[in-house]
Structure 1
Amino acid sequence: MALNFTFSIAKHKWLICLLLLTSTFASAQKDAQFSLFNLNQLFINPAAAGADGLTKIQVTHRTQYVGYQSTNADAGGALSTQLVSFSMPVKNFGIGFYALNDNSGPRNDQDFKLSASYHFPLAGGNFFLGASAGMFRQAIDYGKLRARDPDDDLIKTGTIAEMNPDIGAGVRYVSDAFHVGLSVSHLLQPKYQLGTETGTNPLPATAYLNAGVNIEMGYLLDIQPIVLVKAYTGSVSAEGGATVTYNKRYWAGATYRQQDTYFIIMGGLYLLPDQSLRLSGAYDMVIGGNRQKSPSSFEVMLSYALPSPKFGKKTIIRTPRFRY
């Protein structure tokens, strides 16, 4: 066992070094954020559509800064995000869809994307090319904002929303030993005026680098170092850590995110013997940064997987009794 572990570390030391080095970057964020990013990569990379060979439905809910209270009681509390995704392989292709709802006080973002990928064998693994297209909606409820001069006639009222086309692209390489992906979202960089005549709120293009290494520690134990790096408009955010899986059914892990100095613990289990239904959760703790924020956030994900669909004619089974 020790020999196999040493060989695996040496074989993939370049990727492990990448996981460690990325933790030195500064952090920033524009898109919705998920601690369980390694379990639903379709949101960050369209090349992940159908990548695991399973038809999968996933539902995720995240609450940021649990118990946070705003200055005005009617202006909303903790930030919350919901994500529903679907992915299915079709021979050498994959298709996917996700719908996102992201609330942060008076602002609400909604993202709807269709994704498609194509994969082919390469160097003992599979290389995936993917693209996504859909609509991105931004809205602001001006009734939740408090102006210094409430009698100003130029101040907007009610909810104003805009929806624009949005596209993304990505590549991904997957083998039994590791996976690595690179993608860019918001390639059109849509702009939102939201009731203003001259001001705009652009949605910047965001690049994602996601990687992980699979290390077998025997028949029952697997370790996977993971990392996610995000970059946009000169800012970089990085988080990384590792997960441990026991008997292909139970898993636990921890990651570190520099934004507000987060330490994240996570885990989950398969609820059915055939591993079709999985429940996972994450708990974020703020151990630095802005102490005025509530010190915790949580995330929960429920996923259901079906076997890969079969296409084409059924295989003919010939017997000595029935010949045709």
Structure 2
Amino acid sequence: MILKFIIQNIKWNRLLAILILISSSAIAQKDAQFSLFSLNQLYLNPAAAGAGGLTQFQLTHRTQYSGYQGTNPVDEGGSLSTQLFSFSMPIKNFGIGFYALNDKSGPRTDQDFKISASYHLPVLGGNLQLGASAGLFRQSIDYGKLRAVDPDDPLILTGVISEINPDFAVGARFENETFHVGLSLNHLLKPKYQLGSETGTNPLPRTLYFNAGVNIELGYLLDIQPIVLVKSDISTYSVEGGATVTYNKRYWVGGTYRQQDAFFIIMGGVYLLTDQSLRLSGAYDLVIGGNKTKAPSSFEVMLSYALPSPKFGKKTIIRTPRFRF
């Protein structure tokens, strides 16, 4: 929406073409945001591949600033939309994972595809996980969705322009039955995108993620899990944290606060099957301060399915008095 505002108000068309790329660069410096970050950490840290000893499939949809409208009535809604599919599986002392991300923000779309691998070392009664991921990051902009003062200006681009670059990340994570803590660095090579410009660049900055969580048992049926996430591109940072409460290993509710956007986030979920293999979770973001343009709320839904860790090698021989072999 920042791009659209600039295009509608700047009178110098040659300067306009430059400002389009500058604004696009500023917007693109942030990765997709998720309120349910504690449930799907593979997107934040490749070392989370195979974490928890479970094979997991997860599908997430997020709509940010739902109901926000663009300044031009013929345009689509101004809300941001994100979809994420992820898969993770442990294999002995290793873990593998994959995720596919689609993040749409007005005329710009980001698509991220990565394969992750991690190595698990038994340390201090838990697992130290070292991981890396590699894949492709596609960025595109639809110039047809922008509104120019002079649509006949030959310097204004038309159609959809996209670029694809390789992208890498590394991370480390420690987990045991009581807590987990992780640190990762994304966009190691800082891939750059020109998006139709001969001189302008649109780099993805290196992003540092720190996240942690603790599981505290409060009796036989109740558990509480404090969680925290810190995101930084070195020059800026954002902190969010809170806690969730789980009842009878099946129902859970919680809340977190996101410092940068002044959001209070309400979340909850339920295991739909008694074996805890299928879980439905959701989050609702409430604006309690900050810019009025963020007043429309955001929501997020996640469906996850988990399987036990796969077994490898020969089956264990069961010996009985009748069959001795």
When normalised by structure 1's length, the TM-score is: 0.89
Contact 1:29 1:237 in 2 (8 A): no
Kept in 1, the 8 Å contact 2:115–2:134? The answer is yes
Measure the CA separation in 2 of the matches of 1:79 and 1:63. Answer: 6
Give the match for residue 225 of structure 1: 226
Deviation at 1:212, TM superposition (A): 1.0
Kindly indicate whether the alpha-carbon contact (under 8 Å) linking 1:75 and 1:145 is maintained by their aligned counterparts in 2: no
Answer yes or no: is the 8 Å Cα contact 2:143–2:157 preserved in 1: yes
Distance 1:154 1:233 in 2: 35
Does residue 189 of structure 2 align to residue 188 of structure 1?
yes
Give the Å deviation of 1:316: 1.6
Q: Which residue of 1 aligns with 2:298?
A: 297
Secondary structure of the 2:148 match is: coil
The corresponding residue for 2:240 is 239
* Conserved? CA contact 1:75–1:106, under 8 Å: no
Does 2:171 match 1:177?
Answer: no
Q: How far 1:233 sits from its partner (Å)?
A: 4.3
Deviation at 1:271, TM superposition (A): 0.3
2:38 is aligned with what amino acid?
Answer: N
TM-score (norm 2): 0.89
Contact 1:116 1:130 in 2 (8 A): yes
Q: Which runs of 5+ in 2 are unaligned?
A: 1-27
Paired residues of 1:67 and 1:294 also in contact (CA < 8 A):
no
Matches within 5 A, 1:1-324: 30-77=30-77, 78-324=79-325
User: 2 CA distance for matches of 1:73 and 1:90?
Assistant: 52
CA RMSD of aligned residues (A): 1.2
**How many pairs were matched up?**
297
Note if contact 1:266-1:280 (Cα within 8 Å) is conserved in structure 2.
Answer: yes
Corresponding letter in the other structure for 1:101: N
1:123 CA drift (Å)? 1.1
Task: Note if contact 2:29-2:204 (Cα within 8 Å) is conserved in structure 1.
Answer: no
Provide runs of 4+ in structure 1 moved above 6 Å: none
Given that 1:177 and 1:215 are in contact with CA atoms closer than 8 Å, whether structure 2 keeps it comes out as yes
Q: Which has the higher contact order (CA 8 A, sep 6+)?
A: 1
1:208-247 CA deviation, whole Å, 9 max, x = no partner? 0001111111111111110000000400011000110111
The alpha carbon displacement at 1:49 in A equals 0.4
CA contact (8 A) 2:29 2:205 kept: no
SS in structure 1 opposite 2:144?
A: helix
Provide the identity percentage: 77
Distance 1:86 1:224 in 2: 23
The amino acid across from 2:120 in the alignment is: H
Deviation at 1:147, TM superposition (A): 1.8
Partner SS for 2:294: coil
C-alpha contact (below 8 Å) 1:50/1:88 kept by paired residues = yes
- Quote the offset at 1:45 in angstroms: 0.3
